[in-house]
Amino acid sequence: MARANERVAGLLAEYAELLAMTGGDRFKIRSYEKAARGVGGYATDLATLDETDIRKIPNVGASIAGKVHQAVQTGTFPQLEELRGQIPAGVLTLMRIPNLGPAKALAVYRELGIADIDALLAAVENGDLRQLKGFGPRTEQVIRTGIELVRGGAGRVLMATALDLAESIVERLAPLADRCTYAGSLRRGRETVGDIDILAAAADSGPLMAAFVALPEADTVLVRGETKTSIRTALHPAAALPAAGTGAGKQPDADHAGAAGDSAGSTSAGGLQIDLRVVPQEVWGAALQYFTGSREHNVRVRELAVHAGLKLSEYGLFHAETDELIVAGTEQEVYERLGLRWVPPTLREDLGEVAAARNDELPELVTVDALRGDLHTHTNLTDGVATLDEMLTAAAERGYDYYAVTDHAPELFMQRMTLEKALAQRERLAELRGRYPGMRLLHGTELNIAPDGSVDWPEDVLAEFDLCVASVHSHFTLPAAEQTRRLIRACENPYVQIIGHPTGRLIGRREPIELDLPAVFEAAAATGTALEINGGPDRLDLRDEHIRWAAERGVTFAISSDAHAVPQLDFVRYATLTAQRGWLTPDQVLNCWPYERVLEFLTRPR
């Protein structure tokens, strides 16, 4: 179950969105947007705070604190329910479309009577929208893209959301089982999942099934049996695809820059199916292998079994002729008996892993424990919600050897960064170094890659930063040739060491920019520029298949949290799972290296 912080942040973001739709005061709307970021990024669980403590959260005043406290206690607050009642259900449906925005959603409902996505698409195709003020060809294309994103993500949730829910359920069921874990695409680290598979081992399934259907998340029991029970939640958790209140009203040429609270939002309609399967302890390994999948991987493994005169199922590995059980207790035993090394779940997609396992050529995958530092983080100097001191303390508690602060540069104008602010932060960082003797502190910046590939700050200023991350934050609709040249020029900049979230995508909300990816990867390899694997739950950028393409060309990578709050430092977990799916080893990841080697990378002539 999501922390109270994420759930309440979603309610505050929804309230701000509904205020915008009903003509609310802009200052008030902005206050609730900022409060949502503050609540979502606050390190302490709201469920443990009273109203006085809630007022200590950045951007949360007395009035908002009262609503937050009510939301923690009841799951909502009266003002939100009142606004929900004022908005027709059809408009709320249209608000799910990325980049449509509340004003346009309300306009198409009032002027054309459109209340569902199919009717909206028909209006786009027929040219009916053009009769409305502010609706032209560009708006039509934006709406088409948004509808594709909604349909492509229908019924799916972000990996981070599913992990949070699955781990919570496993924690509550585990005392009743001999073994209990999640399986399926979630165990494989897929960026989004359509359902959650829970696997348990127990001699008696009755107590497990009873506890499962009694979970507060269970809105509907779809199937109940001795070996399998399925439930459906009432609504998707926060961060369902796409989430209203998390950029739905943003324009396609203005990035919200991953600010704290972005992955929190109001829930979308339709529940998430969760399946619980209970097996005997003695077949645990075979069942876990089978229910982890993927289907294609399992087919490939079963083919090996058939060629060896064996049969493989969720109940074990058997002799084909005699049905005698050979092994079933652990996954390692199953793979070993088939002549394979154990295949990490994140590789089980039938992309060459079975042959690699047979030939003892599987990579030793990067892990979170291998990360020695984080090279892309933010503070409240720009769009973060935690202070420099708070972020450093949290990084030190993670045991990092080094840590970079990379607040935004001035061209992302809404952050109001100035050279004076950057220099003052550098001085503060120097003052704090003595407090963290075991962690090297790096003063960096996240630059903005302009349409022509240039970056903000002049060269003499860039030269004084320890680290420069350069990212695309605007102009997402340029033609592929221009976008490609844009990123290549950024790679060629001698002061840019890392390209942040290289394709600019937001899962379920914004398509990646159009790029000649091989050309960008070749440029990154040639210039020695690292490409980021951004751990933001709705970014995971670069994605898994692109990582493999880039790695084949010798690119170096950085696994980054892009944290804007203390809890978001954990986002490296999602980036690491994505890196594993890209077959990366620690030696290919910049921030798995010792500090001396990182420093050599950052300071080498280019």
Q: Model confidence over 86-117: pLDDT tens digits?
A: 877 777 777 777 777 777 887 888 888 887 88
Given this model, what pLDDT does residue 110 score?
81
pLDDT for the residue numbered 235: 56
Lowest mean pLDDT among 106-110, 276-280, 590-594: 106-110
Q: Which of 167, 571, 601, 160 is nearest to 395 (CA)?
A: 571
Amino acid at site 11: L
CATH of domain 4-152: 1.10.150.110
Q: 247: pLDDT confidence band, cut at 50, 70 and 90? A: very low
Place of tokens 């786009």: 124
Kindly state the percentage of the chain with pLDDT values over 70.
Answer: 92
Instruction: Determine how many CB atoms are found less than 10 A away from the CB of residue 126.
Output: 9
126 pLDDT higher than 70? yes
Quote the CA–CA distance of 318 and 300 in Å, as a whole number. 17
Tokens for 92, please give them. 């709320």
| Burial group, residue 26, by CB count within 10 angstroms (0-12, 13-18, 19+) | exposed
> 573 falls in which pLDDT band (50, 70, 90)?
very high
What integer best gives the mean pLDDT of the chain? 89
CB 200 within 8 A of CB 173: yes
Which position has the higher pLDDT, 316 or 103? 316
193-197, 232-236, 425-429: which range is least confident on average?
232-236
Select from 3.40.50.150, 3.40.50.2300, 3.40.50.300, 3.20.20.140 the CATH code of 368-603. 3.20.20.140
Average pLDDT (176-197) is 96
Which tens digits make up the pLDDT trace of 448-475? 999 999 999 999 999 999 999 999 999 9
Residue 261 pLDDT > 50: no
Stretch 320-349: mean pLDDT: 96
The partner residues of 310 in beta bridges, in order of sequence, read 319
**Mean pLDDT, residues 580-605:** 97
* H-run or E-run covering 312: strand 310-313
Contact 521, 548 (CB under 8 A): no
Q: Which CATH number fits domain 157-248+256-279: 3.40.50.300, 3.50.50.60, 3.30.460.10, 3.40.50.2000?
A: 3.30.460.10
Residue 532 or residue 49, greater confidence: 532
What average pLDDT does this structure show over 366-389? 95
pLDDT in tens, 154-165: 668 899 999 999
Q: What is the pLDDT of residue 21?
A: 76
Q: Is the pLDDT of residue 242 over 70?
A: no
**In the predicted structure, residue 248 carries a pLDDT above the cut 50:** no
Return the CATH number of the domain spanning residue range 287-358: 3.30.210.10
pLDDT value of position 43 = 78
Pick from 150, 140, 36: which is nearest to 93 by CA?
Answer: 150
- Residues near 46 by Cβ (< 8 Å), separated by ≥ 6? 3, 4, 5, 8, 39, 54, 68, 72
Return all residues near 359 (Cβ < 8 A) that are at least 6 apart. Answer: none
Among 136-150, 219-233, 315-329, 338-352, which stretch is predicted with the lowest mean pLDDT?
A: 136-150
Listed residue (578, 576, 571, 601) closest to 586, CA to CA: 576
Task: With cut-offs at 50, 70 and 90, classify the pLDDT of residue 30.
Answer: confident
Rounded to whole angstroms, how far apart are CA atoms 425 and 439?
A: 17
* Beta strand segments in 449-564, E: 467-471, 498-500, 530-534, 557-560
Residue 351 CB burial class (10 angstroms; 0-12, 13-18, ≥19): middle
Q: Give the residue-averaged pLDDT of 245-263.
A: 41
| 116-125, 219-228, 335-344, range with the lowest pLDDT | 116-125
- Confidence band (pLDDT; 50, 70, 90) for 2? low
Q: Select from 508, 566, 521 the least CA-distant residue to 548.
A: 521
Residue 153, pLDDT score = 61
Is 488:524 a contact under the CB 8 Å cutoff?
no
The CA distance from 237 to 273, in Å, is 12
- CB-based contact 541:560 (threshold 8 Å): no
- Helices first, then strands: H and E counts in the chain: 24, 17
* All residues at 6 or more sequence positions from 89 whose CB lies less than 8 Å from its CB, including other chains: 115
| pLDDT above 70 for 22 | yes
Residue 18's H or E segment, with its range, is: helix 4-21
Least reliable range by pLDDT among 10-24, 90-104, 206-220, 231-245 = 231-245
For residue 16, give the nearest of 75, 95, 113 by alpha carbon: 95
CA distance 134 to 404: 43
3-state secondary structure 329-391: CCHHHHHHHCCCCCCCHHHCCCCCHHHHHHCCCCCCCCCHHHCCEECCECCCCCCCCCCHHHH
What Å distances lie between residue 381 and 32, 107, 386, 398, 418, CA to CA? 19, 37, 9, 22, 10
- What pLDDT is recorded for position 509? 82
**What's the pLDDT tens digit per position in 37-78?**
888 888 788 888 988 999 988 889 889 999 999 999 888 999
Domain edges within the chain: 4-152, 157-248+256-279, 287-358, 368-603
Amino acid at 381: L
Q: How many residues does the chain have?
A: 606
pLDDT at residue 241 in the model: 45
The pLDDT, as a whole number, for residue 129 is: 86
Mean pLDDT value of segment 313-319: 96
Helices (H), 116-233: 117-126, 137-152, 159-173, 184-187, 206-213
* Among the ranges given (20-24, 128-132, 238-242, 427-431), the one the predictor scored with the smallest mean pLDDT: 238-242
The distance from CA 351 to its chain's CA centroid, rounded to whole angstroms, is 23
The pLDDT score that the predictor gives to residue 307 is 95
Give the confidence band of 267 by pLDDT, cuts at 50, 70, 90: very low
| Cα 97 from Cα 203, distance rounded (Å) | 47
Q: How many CA atoms lie within 13 A of 323 on its CB side?
A: 1
